[in-house]
Amino acid sequence: MPNPKNIVILISGSGSNMAAIAQAAQQQDWKNQFGASIAAVISNRPDAPGLRLAQALGIATQVLSHKDFDSREAFDAALMRLIDGYQPALVVLAGFMRILTPGFVGHYAGRLINIHPSLLPAFTGLNTHQRAIEAGCKQAGCTVHQVTAELDHGPILAQAAVPVLPDDTAETLAARVLVQEHLLYPLAVRGWLQTQA
């Protein structure tokens, strides 16, 4: 199939959202449907458990430690070179715990997406579940959005909501939201691929 749509996924930790996307890609045969495949999983942490998960799924992995660079800009420039080696149609942030420079975000404008564990625009940044509970929210959830230079902003592609229960802790709420993340993120990536057909 001409012009394969390569997807590069960036992770820092367990890689559970990455695995959900990779499994959906395999089960739904994105290669034949959209000419799309997961070209690589890249982590800024050599010990990220998600790297082993990706390898078990037969996906190429790379490590680029941010600790090897003097500045955020230098790391992002090296990361761009690494990603661009795969000629990506889409770059997916799946628990990639780095704030990206405007230069990086601009380079991938329109083809860089992220999942955030809140119903944006509410609760950008960290500790989203605890903040939702403290604010008395009846619902929490997750959002897939295009990445722009402003943290956790950018056009919303998809959202999923869960109820906040009276006895919820940040941990129980996070676990319930994560189940939705694993459903929502593959759907959102698939939706993006459909728009590129």
Active site residues: 116
Distance (Å, rounded) from C-alpha 47 to C-alpha 122? 32
CB 90 within 8 A of CB 109: no
Q: Judge if the upstream peptide bond of residue 121 is cis by omega within 30 degrees of 0.
A: yes
| Dist CA 92 CA 18 (whole Å) | 8
CA distance 74 to 57: 31
Q: Which of 47, 58, 64 is nearest to 19 (CA)?
A: 58
Q: Return the residue matching tokens 């109820």.
A: 163
The token duo for 37 is 């495949």
For the sheet containing 88-93, what is the strand order?
61-63, 36-43, 5-11, 88-93, 112-116, 139-146, 156-163
CB 181 within 8 A of CB 144: no
